[in-house]
Amino acid sequence: MRELKIGKNDAGQRLDKFLGKALVDMPVSLMYKSIRTKKIKVNRKRATPEQMLAEGDTLQLFIAEEFFKDGGISDRNLDLSKINTKISVVYEDENILLVNKEAGVSVHEDEGNRKNNLITYILAYLWRKGEYIPEDEQSFTPALCNRIDRNTEGIVIAAKNAAALRCMNERIKDRRISKFYLAAVHGVPKRAEATLTAYLEKNEKTNTVRVCDTPFGSAKKIVTKYKVLKKRSDMSLVEVELITGRTHQIRAHFAHIGHPLVGDGKYGQNRNDRALGYKHQALCSYKLKFPVTEEKDMLSYLDGREFSVPSEDIFFTELF
């Protein structure tokens, strides 16, 4: 029998969700059976899968040792001491971290790329600061709250603890964060500023999207607000506010109205762009705003604040 004590980062989640993270090698069906047959208890009492855990609770687990992963849930056979912390911090406090991701860097690890990605850089950065100790965690790893494409640069939000992760995800879900992008587009839009509405459908097989002005198929409504900041005869710098946040929304929506992003090989014709050295889309998630609302939570101290990437740090602003 083993006993696990629920810590700060474990609390506030269902028992089955916690066990799914803490006992990664245990089959899900066996986990539910163990709860049902009282081989997994909470505070020495019969438990249910949906039972919410509180800090200080203790779990009694009468299960095989093979399902326990010594060294913490976050032991990923990855030596954080050897990871280069390639991050540019825009803002940081005890709960969250805002990082300016470079274009060309993926946000999460994928097959064959466990070391060179944003979340691994962040874990190594927090480990070096002593704010993340993998062996002390049973079910939590610092995580990203939003994501942007590999070839888009700009601000990505990371949560340092479980409570901040839940709170920030709730804010994003409720659209209590305003996201602004800068983009360099071909041509000059007819209107200096506008709110565009269309419908977007994603093709999972090709990882592309299609945009139309009227509803079709399984397409979802998109709303993109923009303002032209600077312009040349053949190009414009626009600020974009995402009212909705769909896959490739900005890139596809501007291509749809005849102004594809500079360097966008998926939705534009960028042979000339590549010849000029632009190997990826000229798009940066450059500013976040936290509006003041009546609803209060642990991150209310951010209300009324905004954070941005300096324009000189955005590679394509040199065009203007």
Q: If we measure between CA atoms, which residue out of 278, 316, 12, 53 comes closest to residue 163?
A: 12
Q: If we measure between CA atoms, which residue out of 223, 215, 212 comes closest to residue 245?
A: 223
Residue pair 199/223 in contact by the 8 Å Cβ criterion:
no
Contacts of 186 (CB under 8 A, 6+ apart): 234, 235, 259, 260, 261, 262, 268
Contacts of 74 (CB under 8 A, 6+ apart): 134, 135, 137, 140, 141
Contacts of 228 (CB under 8 A, 6+ apart): 188, 189, 192, 193, 236, 237, 238
CA contacts within 13 A on the Cβ side of 134:
19
Q: Which residues are catalytic?
A: 149
> Quick one: CA torsion of 189, 194, 195, 196, rounded to 10 degrees?
-20
